[in-house]
Amino acid sequence: MIECHVIHAAFEAGVIKLLQLGSSCIYPKMAPQPMAESALLTDTLEATNEPYAIAKIAGIKLCESYNRQYGVDYRSVMPTNLYGPGDNFHPENSHVLPALIRRFHEAVRDGAVEITIWGSGTPRREFLHVDDMAEASLFVMDIEMEDYRRETEPMLSHINVGCGVDVSIMELACLVAKVTEFHGRILTDPSKPDGAPRKLLDVSRLARLGWTATIGLEEGVRSTYKWYLSQRVDGFRSK
């Protein structure tokens, strides 16, 4: 529970304004789409994410409790899937977008004629560029308290951060193929797990407060791939 120790240490050090970053994994596996902040704790979490999700939920509730008990201004934002320069491209423990960038790059490098992606390719996911996330985080911190309280509730104070648009994993793979100039076949492996069928955040609360994402997915993937190429050593970077 590192975040809880950090939040408590911040309070003890006299920090009166703090931003806690969570994850869209806090919402139930079968939450109505798009997932509004009000979906929190309404149903069962996705099993493989449960420990991580519970930790993030604990952080939200700790911030809310400190706000009520001590009058501090601790806010929480829940980002969707993030990507961009500086991401983890490790072949065994990276997330879907950097993993695809590396795999397609290596396929082009090695002259492969086909790539097999995990699962059916039908699950839909939302992706937000890290620069948009940084901008949104600063925006949320600068919201006047009156406006923040108008759009939130004392026991439901977190704010979703996303772009409001999702794509299927197959669509994402096709986009990465386009960016990396892979012209072979893209196959699926339905024997591998798909995870939740869809994870799209309802970002209307943040939009009403005045912020929306500006970096499109193709633009973001291209800039991320450019960064990846600049960091390669002997063909690729290990992480």
Residue 190's CB: how many other CB atoms inside 10 A? 11
The 3-state DSSP class for residue 133 equals: helix
DSSP 116: E
- Angle at alpha carbon of residue 15, lines to 13 and 20, rounded to 5°: 115
Q: Is 83 known to be catalytic?
A: no
Tokens found for residue 141: 């911190």
Active-site residue among 52, 66, 70, 225? 52
CA distance 190 to 120: 5
Q: Under a CB-based contact definition with an 8 Å cutoff, are residues 41 and 27 in contact?
A: no
- Strand partners for 19: 75
Interstrand relation of 124-129 and 166-168 (parallel, antiparallel or unpaired): antiparallel
CA distance 56 to 79: 12
Q: Which residues are catalytic?
A: 52
